[in-house]
Amino acid sequence: MTTSTSSQSLWQRVTAPLSSGPIAYGFLALYVLACSILLVTNPRTELSTDVVFVLFLLSMLVAYRSRVAAWFKVVLGVFALGVVLPYFGTLNPFYIDVATQAGIFTALALGLNVVVGFAGLLDLGYVAFFAVGAYAWGIFSTPQITEINPAWSPVDPVMFYPFLIIGLILGLITGVLLGLPVLRLRGDYLAIVTLGFGEVIRVVANNLDRPINITNGSQGIRAIERPPLIIVDQIRNLGIVADDNRLYQLFFYYLVLIIVLLTVIVVARLKHSRIGRAWEAIREDEVAAVAQGIPRVRMKLLAFAIGASFAGVMGVVFASKQLFINPPTFDLLRSINILAMVILGGMGSIPGAMLGAIIVTMLDLQILPRIAAVLREAQAAGAPIPRQFDPTQYQRLLFGLLLVVMMIFRPEGLWPDERRREEQHEVEITDEELEADKTAKQAGADSGS
Amino acid sequence: MALLEATNITKIFGGLVAVNDVTFTVEPGSIVSVIGPNGAGKTTFFNVLTGIYKPDKGRVVFAGKDITGWRSDQIAALGMRRTFQNIRLFGNMTVLENVLIGMHVHLHASIWSIIFRGRTMLREEAKARNKALELLSFVGIADKRDELAKNLPYGDQRRLEIARAMAGDPKIILLDEPTAGMNPHETAEATQLIRRLRDERGITVILIEHDMRLVMSISERISVLDYGSKIAEGDVQAIRTNPRVIEAYLGKGAAGHAA
Amino acid sequence: MAVDATVAPTTARRSLGEVLGVVFGPVGQLLAFIVGSAASLSLIVVVLALILSSAQPDIMQRVVIILPQVIIDGLVRGFLFATIALGYTMVYGVLEFINFAHGEIFMIGGVVGATVSFLLVSAGALESIPPLVFILLVVLVAMAFCGMLAVTVERVAYRPLRGAPRLVPLISAIGMSLILQDLARLVMTNTPLGFNARYQTPNFGQPIQLFTMQIGERSVPVILSPRDLIFIVAATIMLVVLNYVVNATKLGKAIRATAQDMPTASLMGIDVNRIIALTFLIGGALGGAAGALFGLRIGTVNPYMGLIPGLKAFTAAVLGGIGNITGAMVGGVVLGFLEAFVAAYLSIFTAGNFSGAAYADVAAFSILILLLIFRPSGLLGEATTQKV
Ligand SMILES: Nc1ncnc2c1ncn2[C@@H]1O[C@H](COP(=O)(O)OP(=O)(O)OP(=O)(O)O)[C@@H](O)[C@H]1O
Ligand SMILES: [Mg+2]
C-alpha cells in the first residue's frame, strides 16, 4: 500500500498539469488526434493497432476525468466516438465489433457497479437479468413464440425499440422479485443466493422446452430479428453501397454508444444524489445508516432493480445483435466476467467500471487470441509449449488471478472512486454542486423579490 | 404528556437478562441521564428504544405512537436519533456528506428528478447543503466539512455524530457516552454543546454517561441501571444520596462512607 | 459464533464413556435425521402416489419399485454433501468466511484419485491390487494432497486479507475457485488424463443383493452396488473420526475456542494462525477424500465437477446451521435425500413433463433461498443477535 501512495503522488505530479488548465485542452486534442490518425492510417488487425485502439478508447476516460469545459469534452467525444471510430470501423470491421462488445459490457459493468460498488451487494447472478432481456426479445421476435401458443405470431421487428423499454421493465421486475426476499440477507449469503439464482435461471432456460416449449431448451433461439434500419434507403439513394451486415454493425455501434452515454449520465446523477449517498452509507455501516432513517431493504432493492434493468435493456440489444442465444451464453462465467470488470476498475467508480469493461473485453477478444497465435507459432517452431494450451480457453484462470491479485494488492481498483483517492486533497466542487447553489440562490432571490 | 414512555422493557440474550423490566419516562424538553456500572444494560436499553433490538417484553411509546417492534429507520424518521458508544460515522465519506445522510428522511427528490436534474431536486440539495453547514457550525467543525470523517480527531468525530443526529430534526437525541475518552477541556465543551442542544434547539436529550460530574451538572432526572434492572430514579440530589446507587457503584458497605 | 453447543467440561481427562458420548452423540443425531428424512419423504411420495392413483393406476407400483434405490441414492448424496459441507462449516466457524474454493478442493480430490488410478493402470498393477488397499491408497493420497492445497490456498489468498471488509476475502475465494478449475484443466488436458479423466478401479465384485421386494406378481431385487457401499462406509468412518477429533481432543478444543472468540483464544495462548491452518487442513482433507471417493463411484472426473456439489454442500452447511459441525452432517443428509427424491420422482409425478435430474439442482437452490430467508440459523443453529 505504501508503494502505491508514493507512485500515486508521482503519477499525480505528472498528470496534474495535463488534467487542468489550458495545457489540458492542447494535450487532450493532441492525444485524440494522434490516436485517430494512427488508427485510420493503419487499420490492419495487428498488435500495434490494438495498442493504439486501447489508447484511443482510454483518451475518452482521460477526457472525462480532466478539468476542461464540458463543451470541449462533448466535442472530443463526438469526434472520437461518433466520427473517427465508425469511420475506422468501415476500414476494419473487426474493431467496431470489439467497440460494440466493449460498449455492451460497459453498460453491464456500470449496472453491476450500482449493485456491487454503490450499494455493496455482491451479485454473482447478474447475468440472469441479461438473460431475461435477451430471451424476451429472442422469443417474441422469432417463430419461437408460436411454440408457446400457435395463435400468436412474432412481433414486427420494429417493435425492437419499444422492447428496449420492455427489457428494462422485465429486468426491473425480475430484480425486485429476486431482491425482495433475499436482500435482507447478510452480504456473503447474498452472494451465494444470487449465484444460485443465476444457475437456476440457466437451468430453467435449458429445460423449459417441455412441457411447453418456451425457451427451446439447449438448442437456443436462432435467427433473432434485427430492427429495420430506418435510414437505409436514404443511404442507398446516396449511392453508398453497403451490405446489410456492415450497416447493422454501425447501427449497433451507435445504439450501444447512446445507451452507454445515457447509462453513464443516469448512474453519475444517482451517485451524487440522496440515493447514492444512502447506498454508500449502507455499504459503509448498515446499522448506522438505518439509524439515520435510511430504509435499508428499500434502498438495496432500488440498487438491485436499477442494476437489473440496465442488464434487461442490454439483453434485448445483445440478442438482436448476436442473432442467436442459448443457455451457456448466460453462465456463471459471464457474471464473473462482468464482476471482474467492476473490480478491476474499482468498485463504486464510474470511470473505473468503464475502464474495467474496456480492458477485460480487449483481453477477451484481442489480447488473448493474439497471445494464442504467438504461442502457436512458437510451438510450430518447436518451442516446448504444451500442445493443449490455448490462452483464449483459460479465461477462468485469467479472471481468477485478476480477482485474487486485485483483492490482495489493490482492492480499490485501477481507477478508484475519486473522493477516496484524493483523501487528503481539497475536494473539488462539481459542476452539479455549483449549479445547484446557483439555482438555490436564484430561487431565493425570486421568492424574495 | 411524556415524549417517550418505555414500560416494562425486558431484553434477554440467550440466558442473560440484559435489560430487566425497566420503565422509563422522558418529558419533552428535558435532559435525563441513564447511568450504571459497565455491563448494566444501558446501551442495550438504547438499542431497544431505537429499534435495533426488539424487546422481549414491554412497550415503547414515542411522540404519541406505539413504536414497539418498529424498524430502526422508521423510528429514526419519527424523530428519535442517537449517537453510538463506539462512534459509527461513515468514515470514507466527507464530514458534510455525513450530515447530509442524517437528513435523508427530509429529502424527497424522486428518482426522476434526480435523473433529469429537476429544479426541485437541485433546490432541495442546495438547501440541504446550507442546513448541513449551519449544523456543522453549530457543533463547531464547519471548517472541516470536506475532510473524510475518519480523518477527524476523536473529539470532532463525536461532534460530527451529534451534528448528524441533529440533521434529522429530531424531537429527541440519545447520546451514548458522548464524552468517553475526552480530556477535561473537551468534556467541558461537550457539556456545553449538549446544553445548547436543548436550550437553543429545543431537543430533548437522553444521556448515557460515566462522567459523574457531567451527569450531575446537566441532568434534570437520572435513572440508574444495575444488572439490567432500574434500581433508582430521581433528581440529582436524590440519586447522589441513594444508598443503593452508591452500593452499586462502590460495592457493599460503601454506602455509609460516601456522599 | 458458536461452533458447537457442547462446550467441553474443563476436566483434563475424561472417562471413556464421556468420550464415546461426545463422539457418538452427534452420530446418533445424524442417524435420527437419516431415518427421519428417509421415512418422511417416502411417506410423502406414497401419499402423493395414492392421490394420483385414480388417474394413473400403475403409479403406486412405479413409485414403490424404485423407493429403496432412491433411499440408497439419497444416502450416498447425503454423505457426499456432508463430507464437503464440513469443510465449509469449519472454516466459517473460525473465520466467518465462505471458502468459495472448497468445491474445487473436492474436485481436485477426484482428480488426484484418478491420477493414482491412472498410474496404477500404467504400471499394470491395478488388477492385482486388493480393492481395500486401492481405496485406502487413493483416499489417503487425495487427503494429503488436498489438505496441503487448502492450507496453501489459505496462506496465499486469504490470510493477507484477514480483517479486510467481508466481501474482500470472499471475492478472493471466488477468484481462487476459478484458478483451481483452470489449473486442473491445464494439467489434465496436457497429460494423458484428459478433460474427462477415466477413473479406473479394480473389480469390486458383484452388486450386493440386499433383499427382494414382492410387488404384485413381480419380485424386485434391491441392490447395493459395492461403490455405493464403499462411499457410505468410508464417509461414516470419516465423520466419526472427525467428531472424535473435534469433540474429544485438545486440538478440537482449541479449534472450538478459536471459533467462539478469536481474540480471547489468542490471549489464552492458542496460536490462532496454526489453528486456522489446521482447520483448512482438516476441511481440505475431508473434501479431497470425498472427491476421491465420489470420482471412484461415478468412474470419471472433470475439472468443473466441483462447483455444483460445492454449492449444494454449502446449502447443506447452512441447512444444518453454519458453523455447527453436527449440523453440517445433518444438513448434508437431509439435502441429499431431498435431492434424490426430487430427481427420482419429479418426472413420475409430472407425467414426464419436468425432468427430475435437471430440476434437482433447482430444488436444492430453492431450498437454500427459502432457508436463508425463513431460517438463516438452520436446523440446529441458534439465532444470534449481532452486537451493536
Ligand atoms: N447482542 C448481544 N448478544 C449477547 N449479549 C449482549 C449483546 N449486547 C449486549 N450484550 C450483553 O448485555 C449486557 C449489557 O450490555 P450493555 O452494552 O448494554 O451494557 P452497558 O451498560 O452499555 O455497559 P458499558 O457501560 O460498558 O457500555 C452485557 O453483559 C453484554 O455483554
Ligand atoms: Mg454501553
From chain B, pick out residues whose CB is under 8 angstroms from the CB of C388: 43, 47, 52-53, 84
| d(C-alpha A63, C-alpha A259), whole Å | 19
| Residue B44 beta carbon below 6 angstroms from any ligand 1 atom | yes
In angstroms, what CA-CA distances link B78 with B7, B96, B172, B175, C95?
19, 23, 10, 17, 38
Find the Cα–Cα–Cα–Cα dihedral C246, C251, C256, C258, rounded to 10°. Answer: -150
- Contact between C59 and C215 under an 8 Å Cβ cutoff? The reply is no
Give the mean pLDDT of A258-269.
94
Neighbours of A379 (CB within 10 A): 14
| Residue B47 beta carbon below 6 angstroms from any ligand 1 atom | no
Rounded to two decimals, the ipTM of the complex is: 0.92
**Does residue A408 belong to the interface with chain C, where contact is any CB pair within 8 Å?**
yes
- pTM of the entire predicted model: 0.88
**DSSP letter, residue B147:** S
Q: Is the pLDDT of residue C379 over 80?
A: no
- Contact between C384 and C376 under an 8 Å Cβ cutoff? The reply is no
The residue ranking higher by pLDDT, C175 or A9, is C175
Name the residue among B24, B83, B27, B43 with its Cα closest to residue B204: B27
Q: Measure in Å the smallest separation between the Cα of A308 and chain C Cα atoms.
A: 19
Cα radius of gyration rounded to whole Å, chain B: 19
Name the residue among A345, A315, A316 with its Cα closest to residue A126: A315
Task: Name the residue in chain B with its Cα closest to that of A266.
Answer: B115
pLDDT classification of A1: cutoffs 50, 70, 90: very low
- Domains of chain B, residue spans: 1-79+170-259, 90-169
Q: Measure in Å the smallest separation between the Cα of B152 and chain A Cα atoms.
A: 12
Name the residue among A27, A4, A29, A31 with its Cα closest to residue A16: A27
Highest-confidence segment of A93-97, B1-5, C4-8, C176-180: C176-180
Ligand 1, atom 28: nearest CA belongs to which residue?
A: B39
**Does residue C58 belong to the interface with chain A, where contact is any CB pair within 8 Å?**
no
Give the N- to C-terminal CA distance of chain A in Å, as an integer. 56
Cα C312–C316–C321 angle (5° rounding)? 145
Give the N- to C-terminal CA distance of chain C in Å, as an integer. 15
- pLDDT tens for residues A226-257? 888 777 667 667 666 667 788 888 889 999 99
Q: What are phi and psi of A209, to 5 degrees?
A: -95, -5
Please tell me the predicted confidence (pLDDT) of residue A422. Answer: 38
| d(C-alpha C233, C-alpha C238), whole Å | 9
Cα A159–A163–A165 angle (5° rounding)? 135
| d(C-alpha C29, C-alpha C82), whole Å | 14
Local structure of C330: helix, strand or coil = helix
Cell of A23: 495545457
Spacing, Cα A291 to ligand 2 middle (Å) = 17
Spacing, Cα B211 to ligand 2 middle (Å) = 13
Please tell me the predicted confidence (pLDDT) of residue A128. Answer: 93
- Contact between A155 and A311 under an 8 Å Cβ cutoff? The reply is no
| Residue B18 beta carbon below 6 angstroms from any ligand 1 atom | yes
Task: Name the residue in chain B with its Cα closest to that of A294.
Answer: B73
| d(C-alpha B40, C-alpha A379), whole Å | 74
- Contact between B231 and B245 under an 8 Å Cβ cutoff? The reply is yes
The residue ranking higher by pLDDT, C354 or B114, is B114
| d(C-alpha A126, C-alpha B191), whole Å | 51
User: How many A/C residue pairs have CB atoms within 8 Å?
Assistant: 137
| d(C-alpha C83, C-alpha C103), whole Å | 11
Please tell me the predicted confidence (pLDDT) of residue A441. Answer: 47
Ligand 1, atom 26: nearest CA belongs to which residue?
A: B38
Local structure of C245: helix, strand or coil = helix
Q: What are phi and psi of B35, to 5 degrees?
A: -125, 170
Give the mean pLDDT of A363-390.
81
Strand C208-215 to strand C218-224: parallel, antiparallel, or no bridges (unpaired)?
A: antiparallel
Cα C11–C15–C17 angle (5° rounding)? 130
Contact B146 A287 (CB under 8 A): no
Q: Is the pLDDT of residue B253 over 80?
A: no
| d(C-alpha A342, C-alpha C21), whole Å | 51
From chain A, pick out residues whose CB is under 8 angstroms from the CB of B84: 288, 291
Nearest-atom number in ligand 1 for the CA of B210 is 25
A267, A271, A292: best to mutate for the B interface, most B CBs within 10 A: A292
**Ligand 1 pocket: which of B9, B12, B13 to mutate (most atoms <8 Å of CB)?**
B13
Q: What are phi and psi of B161, to 5 degrees?
A: -60, -35
Q: Measure in Å the smallest separation between the Cα of C334 and chain B Cα atoms.
A: 27
**Does residue B43 belong to the interface with chain C, where contact is any CB pair within 8 Å?**
yes
| d(C-alpha A105, C-alpha A260), whole Å | 9
Contact C385 B13 (CB under 8 A): yes
Give the mean pLDDT of A389-411.
90
Cα radius of gyration rounded to whole Å, chain A: 23
Please name the member of B105, B111, B126 whose beta carbon is closest to the beta carbon of A293. Answer: B105
Ligand sitting nearest the alpha carbon of B37: 1
Please name the member of C171, C178, C355 whose beta carbon is closest to the beta carbon of A397. Answer: C178
In chain C the domains, ranked by start, together with CATH numbers, are 16-374 (1.10.3470)
Find the Cα–Cα–Cα–Cα dihedral C78, C81, C87, C89, rounded to 10°. Answer: -80
Please tell me the predicted confidence (pLDDT) of residue C174. Answer: 94
| d(C-alpha A286, C-alpha C320), whole Å | 27
What percent of chain C is predicted at pLDDT more than 70? 94
Spacing, Cα B177 to ligand 1 middle (Å) = 14
| d(C-alpha A355, C-alpha A113), whole Å | 12
Q: Which long-range contacts (CB under 8 A, 24 or more apart) does C44-47 make?
A: C44/C341, C45/C341, C45/C345, C45/C349
| d(C-alpha C117, C-alpha C297), whole Å | 13
- Contact between A174 and A129 under an 8 Å Cβ cutoff? The reply is yes
| Residue B228 beta carbon below 6 angstroms from any ligand 1 atom | no
Give the mean pLDDT of A145-164.
88
CA A361 to chain centre: 10
Spacing, Cα B210 to ligand 2 middle (Å) = 10
Neighbours of B146 (CB within 10 A): 15
Ligand 1, atom 17: nearest CA belongs to which residue?
A: B43
| Residue B85 beta carbon below 6 angstroms from any ligand 1 atom | yes
| d(C-alpha C315, C-alpha C102), whole Å | 13
Local structure of B195: helix, strand or coil = helix
Spacing, Cα C388 to ligand 1 middle (Å) = 9
- Contact between C327 and C317 under an 8 Å Cβ cutoff? The reply is yes
Please state the three-class secondary structure of chain A as a single string.
CHHHHHHHHHHHHHHHHHHECHHHHHHHHHHHHHHHHHHHHCCCCCHHHHHHHHHHHHHHHHHHHCECCHHHHHHHHHHHHHHHHHHHHHHCHHHHHHHHHHHHHHHHHHHHHHHHHHCCCCCCCCHHHHHHHHHHHHHHHCCHHHHHCCCCCCCCHHHHHHHHHHHHHHHHHHHHHHHHHHCCCCHHHHHHHHHHHHHHHHHHHHHCCCCCCCCCHHHCECCCCCCCCCCHHHHHHCCCCCCHHHHHHHHHHHHHHHHHHHHHHHHHHHHCCHHHHHHHHHHHCHHHHHHCCCCHHHHHHHHHHHHHHHHHHHHHHHHHHHCCECHHHHCHHHHHHHHHHHHHHCCCCHHHHHHHHHHHHHHHHHHHHHHHHHHHHHHHCCCCCCCCCCHHHCHHHHHHHHHHHHHHHCCCCCCCCHHHHCCCCCCCCCHHHHHHHHHHHHHHHHHHC
The residue ranking higher by pLDDT, C220 or B51, is B51
Whether CATH 3.40.50.970 fits B1-79+170-259: no
Ligand 1, atom 22: nearest CA belongs to which residue?
A: B43
Q: What are phi and psi of B229, to 5 degrees?
A: -105, 150
Contact B50 A291 (CB under 8 A): yes
Please tell me the predicted confidence (pLDDT) of residue C382. Answer: 64
Selected residues 373-402 of chain A with any CB under 8 Å from a CB in chain C: 386-389, 394, 396-397, 399-402
C-contacting chains (≥3 CB pairs under 8 Å): A, B
Please tell me the predicted confidence (pLDDT) of residue A449. Answer: 37
Give the mean pLDDT of B17-41.
94
| d(C-alpha B220, C-alpha C275), whole Å | 53
- pLDDT tens for residues A267-309? 999 999 999 999 999 999 999 999 999 999 999 999 999 999 9
Q: Is the pLDDT of residue B95 over 90?
A: yes
pLDDT classification of A12: cutoffs 50, 70, 90: low
- Contact between A413 and A419 under an 8 Å Cβ cutoff? The reply is no
**Single-letter amino acid, residue C215:** I
Q: Is the pLDDT of residue C271 over 70?
A: yes
Task: Provide the H-helix boundaries in C53-130.
Answer: 59-95, 102-122
Element (H, E) at B233: strand B229-234
Name the residue among B35, C164, B43, B236 with its Cα closest to residue A187: C164
- Contact between B124 and B114 under an 8 Å Cβ cutoff? The reply is no
- Contact between A320 and A227 under an 8 Å Cβ cutoff? The reply is yes
From chain C, pick out residues whose CB is under 8 angstroms from the CB of B13: 385
Please tell me the predicted confidence (pLDDT) of residue A232. Answer: 67
Please tell me the predicted confidence (pLDDT) of residue C270. Answer: 87
Nearest-atom number in ligand 1 for the CA of C386 is 1
**Does residue B249 belong to the interface with chain C, where contact is any CB pair within 8 Å?**
no
Spacing, Cα A18 to ligand 2 middle (Å) = 52
Task: Name the residue in chain C with its Cα closest to that of B43.
Answer: C388
How are strands ordered across the β-sheet holding B4-13?
B16-26, B4-13, B57-62, B65-66
Please name the member of C179, C365, C366 whose beta carbon is closest to the beta carbon of A401. Answer: C179
Spacing, Cα B51 to ligand 1 middle (Å) = 16
